[in-house]
Amino acid sequence: MSLTRNDLMSLEQYSTARKDFRARVIEHKRNRSLALGPNATWAFEDQLTMQYQVQEMLRVERIFEADAIQDELDAYNPLIPDGRNWKATFLLEFPDVDERRERLAQLKGVEDRCWVQVAGFERVWAIADEDLERENDDKTSSVHFLRFELSPQMCAQAKAGAAIGAGIDHASYRHEVASLPHNLRESLVKDLA
């Protein structure tokens, strides 16, 4: 479900509510994060995580004009699942600068080798970076946006309790989770229509 201006707090309201709202979102995100190996994390997005992102952007940029607020909504609404998919921010984290440069060069194309799998079905490969290209001739980016499009049958089975797996199958980075932790699985099932 897309966010509208009616879903947002004014800058003044957000200033008052920010501490409690931020704590609520941080707790919510704990149930929507998946580590895949030592260097990759998927943060599954939804309406609440995107509301927080928009509110923070409005706050930082001091945006209060209707057109500018709509621009922010238009930028972030595509990251909200629509009932037939899961959407995630994919982070590649290498604390050392030299290692990061080397590994991101080795990981070109990694965003296209991410998958989820509802038990009993084939893997669903990510549709990555629909908004803009995040890879160049030398390296991939450390941040990607993924969409996993599910069939109605997959959605039904996931909602009925089928195990959900996820992974990355790239020549330079292979990690998978055969069955998502219960809290993450339950949170993701709520995204499905």
Residues 72 and 105 in one domain: no
Residues 61 and 86 in one domain: no
Residues 19 and 40 in one domain: no
Residues 173 and 163 in one domain: yes
Residues 40 and 55 in one domain: no
Residues 111 and 132 in one domain: yes
Element (H, E) at 36: strand 33-36
Tell me, what's the pLDDT at 138?
A: 86
Phi then psi for residue 20, to 5 deg, are -70, -40
* CATH number of domain containing 144: 2.60.40
Sign of the CA dihedral 172, 32, 191, 1? negative
Q: Is residue 72 within 8 Å of 4, Cβ to Cβ?
A: no
Residues 107 and 159 in one domain: yes
Tell me which residue has tokens 């799998």: 117
Assigned token pair, 145: 């946006």
Last residue of a domain, one of 22, 57, 80: 80
- The pLDDT tens digits of the residues spanning 105-138 come to 999 999 999 999 999 999 999 999 887 677 777 8
Name the H helices within the chain.
11-30, 47-61, 66-76, 97-106, 152-159, 182-189
Question: Would you say the pTM of this structure is higher than 0.75?
Answer: yes
Contacts of 70 by beta carbon, 8 Å cutoff, 6+ apart: 5
Residues 9 and 38 in one domain: no
Q: What is the mean pLDDT of the segment spanning 54-73?
A: 95
Please give the torsion angle defined by the CA atoms of residues 149, 151, 157 and 163, in that order, rounded to the nearest 10 degrees: -40
Tell me, what's the pLDDT at 1?
A: 80
Residues 92 and 187 in one domain: yes
Q: Is residue 58 within 8 Å of 64, Cβ to Cβ?
A: yes
Residues 94 and 117 in one domain: yes
Residues 18 and 102 in one domain: no
Q: Is residue 139 within 8 Å of 105, Cβ to Cβ?
A: yes
Tell me which residue has tokens 């980075």: 173
| Number of structural domains the chain divides into | 2
Is the pLDDT reported for residue 42 higher than 80?
yes
Return d(Cα 168, Cα 51) in angstroms, integer: 28
Tell me, what's the pLDDT at 40?
A: 98
Tell me, what's the pLDDT at 151?
A: 98
Q: Residue 10's domain spans which residues?
A: 1-30+47-80
Residues 14 and 4 in one domain: yes
Q: What is the mean pLDDT of the segment spanning 91-106?
A: 95
Is the pLDDT reported for residue 24 higher than 80?
yes
